[in-house]
Chains A and B, each alone.
Chain A
Amino acid sequence: MKKEDTAPAPPPQAQEAEPPLIRLENVGKSFPLADTAKKRLAALAALIRGRPLPAAFHALSGIDLEVRRGESVGLIGVNGAGKSTLLKIIAGVVRPGTGSLARNGRLSALLELGAGFHPEYTGRENIFLAAALMGLADAEIRTRLPAILAFADIGAYIDQPLRHYSSGMVVRLGFALATCVQPDLLITDEVLAVGDESFQRKCVAWMENYLAGGGALLLCSHSMFHIEKLCRRALWVHEGRIRTHGEAGAVTKEYIAWHEARLAGERPRASAAAAAAGLHAIRSLALNGGEADATLAMGEDLHISGTAFAPDGRPPVVAIGIVKSGGTTVYGLTTDMDSHVPRPLPHDPDGRLFAFGLRLPGINLLPGHYEVRAHALDSEGYRLFDEATRMLTVTGSSRELGVCRLTHAWE
């Protein structure tokens, strides 16, 4: 009495010593339409007799995917695209309707942190049941308990009933449990979104460490930051099918561009051309008038100027930053901090190019190499799209320490 895989293990391939951890071939899934009692009965009768469903909703079709040891794959897509169904199929919670699925190695699926927890139990008691649900025997749990408690880091609360926990603590405990399983493939569905900042960092750090140690990851997230940070490949699922599958950065860019186009399309005044035109971008960036890397002497004026493109024709927010060559941010600001609105370029027929300029008189950067960065953000300043950089070399001789000279006087 268990869920059977639909296919036997794939034949071993000559050139590859190890089969992939998971292999999906042409996997599809339909759910019975079961909104009324009558339809439920019809679906049930069909299932018992082993017939195809009379009425079904097609959640997924034609999914091909392989994940090998050491790989990290991101899964992105809009709500309802079929991501969770796909993860559930891979995790074995849902049986695929069509196609074949083969698994090797130990899988651990975190479809929801804290699934299986009981509010009346203490954290410690919950660890045992939840770990048993993840396939650990009591003895294994006992040896890993100290590590779990250390990762969860919720102190004396561990012996309190779970109903006294904050949701953040439940999440900590849930992730701590997942970390102790040491799976070959970890499947997670948006679990990073719920914790606070420090918890998220802890989880990301753990995942990076886990990946470095040869673990494989299948991460579903709406955070492109997490996808790009943790995944080498990404899979964009759209309306139940794979839309793009490739290098993570490229897929997320395409995904964001698609969202931009969709949002632009939804705006009543925006033209179709704007929707097709793509993303906010920095079109040009000049230091003291020259569109190239610049050199200036310490104490001279710096003038940063350029043009930004806004696909929706509304003035974008421009962010400018100066970064020391080692990566330390010296100074950064955005136009909307000072309530400044970039002006439209007078001769632009579309009205989608905007000029910006920033004057920094007598710049007191200590001699060295710097980078000037400009970013284009949408009009609300919510999303950051593009970055342009110029190298800035400050010359002069000074024995002062640090990055810039502060106004000072000895007394």
Chain B
Amino acid sequence: MRTDAFTGAGSGRALLLGFVRRDFANRYAGTFMGGLWALAQPALLLAIYAFVFRHVFKVRLPDPAYSYVTVVACALWPWMAFQEAVQRATVSITANADLIRKIRFPNHLLTLAAVLASFAIHLTGFLAVLAVLALCGEPIHYDGLPVALAAWGVAFALAFGVALVTAALQVAIKDVEPALGPLFMLFFYATPILYPLALVPEAMRPWLAFNPLVHVVEPIRTALLGGEPLAALGALWPAALAASCLFLFARWFFARLEDYFQDFL
């Protein structure tokens, strides 16, 4: 991401920081609880899933050392970060049409800021939930935390890549944003969030493997619950590869359309 005569060295960071701050302000300005709402929503979802799947459907986990809540929590927060980042970043260009029409600046910073803000909020929630679970006596392997964070990094890159494409498309095609809701619902169940991958029948697993998010959430569980950080790191590579390819394409795609956002806004 280069800078040019208009955004001198260093100011790209100032601008990005400003956009992230503004993103927070847009979400929580005037609320009493502020960022706490970001923690409350997934926590409530977690409570609902725990009730439905443990007490109604009586799901039995292969590894009885961990509660259902812990298994779901490991995947739910990264998923929330990914989904929210993509959904919010998709409208990052169209929602800031006034800015783009009047000022020259690297437009992708808007998209990046939306992704950053979502990940910052939900990573905080994730760490808070891990702390609470540990206090409740869940035997979480904290030596797996660096690998879990690396998986978060891959999720971030995936989200940014997807968001660059959807945000650029959204400028010309308004159907992108409404289509994301149903798509994400589909992906939510196609990703092992409410269930560990081990519960999926063998025959279906190769199909699930095409979903890069599978390779993000499963390594997090392997690292934090399985206690095998090295195996988790090894399992991360398909997602990392997908994220790199996607990012390269997304960067080209966004740059191609960036000059013409004006014409559609």
Known: A40-B173, A132-B15. A93 touches B25 (CB 8 A): no
CB atoms of B174 and A1 under 8 A apart: no
Residue B128 at the chain A interface, CB threshold 8 Å: no
Question: B1 touching A93 by the CB < 8 A rule?
Answer: no
Are A3 and B258 interface neighbours, CB within 8 A?
yes
Stretch at the interface among B36-44, B95-103, B151-159: B95-103
Contacts of B6 in A (CB 8 A): 92, 107, 135
| A292-325 interface bits toward B, Cβ cutoff 8 Å, 1 = contact, 0 = none | 0000000000000000000000000000000000
> Cβ of A3 and Cβ of B259 under 8 Å apart?
yes
CB-defined interface of B247-258 with A at 8 Å, one 1/0 digit per residue? 000010111111
Roughly how many angstroms separate A47 CA and B173 CA in the complex, as a whole number? 13
- Contact: A120 with B29, CB < 8 Å? yes
Contact with B along A18-58 (1 / 0, CB 8 A): 00000000000001101001001101100110100000000
| Contact in complex: B104, A106 (CB < 8 Å) | no
Q: Does A91 contact B (CB under 8 A)?
A: yes
Which chain B residues border A118 with CB–CB below 8 Å? 22, 25-26
Chain B residues with CB below 8 A from A140, complex form: 11
For window 133-164 of A, CB contacts with B under 8 Å fall at 133-138, 140-141
Per the CB 8 Å criterion, the residue count for chain A at the interface is 43
Partner among A47, A91, A106, A107 whose Cβ is within 8 Å of the Cβ of B260: A47
Across-interface contacts of A120 in B (CB, < 8 A): 25-26, 29-30
CB pair A103 B254 closer than 8 Å = no
CB atoms of A132 and B18 under 8 A apart? yes
Say yes or no: is A199 at the interface (Cβ < 8 Å to chain B). no
Q: Is A250 an interface residue (CB 8 A)?
A: no
A112 partner, pick from B22, B26, B102, B105, beta carbons under 8 A: B102
Q: How far is the CB of A186 from chain B (nearest CB, A)?
A: 14
A44 touches B172 (CB 8 A): yes
Could you tell me the distance between the alpha carbons of A134 and B253 in the complex, rounded to whole angstroms?
A: 26
Determine whether the beta carbon of B18 is less than 8 Å from that of A129.
Answer: yes
Q: Which residues of B contact A91 (CB under 8 A)?
A: 104
CB distance from B178 to the nearest CB of A (A): 13
Is there an interface contact between B104 and A34, defined as CB atoms closer than 8 Å?
no
CB-based nearest B residue for A116:
B99
Distance to closest chain A CB from B117 (angstroms): 14
Q: Mark B residues whose CB is within 8 Å of A.
A: 1-11, 14-15, 17-19, 21-22, 25-26, 29-30, 98-108, 169, 172-175, 251, 253-260, 262-264
| Sample (30) of A-B pairs whose CB atoms are under 8 Å apart | A1-B258, A2-B106, A2-B255, A2-B258, A32-B264, A34-B264, A44-B169, A44-B264, A47-B256, A91-B104, A93-B100, A93-B104, A95-B259, A95-B260, A95-B262, A109-B103, A111-B103, A115-B98, A115-B102, A120-B30, A121-B25, A129-B18, A129-B19, A133-B15, A134-B103, A135-B5, A136-B11, A138-B10, A138-B14, A140-B11
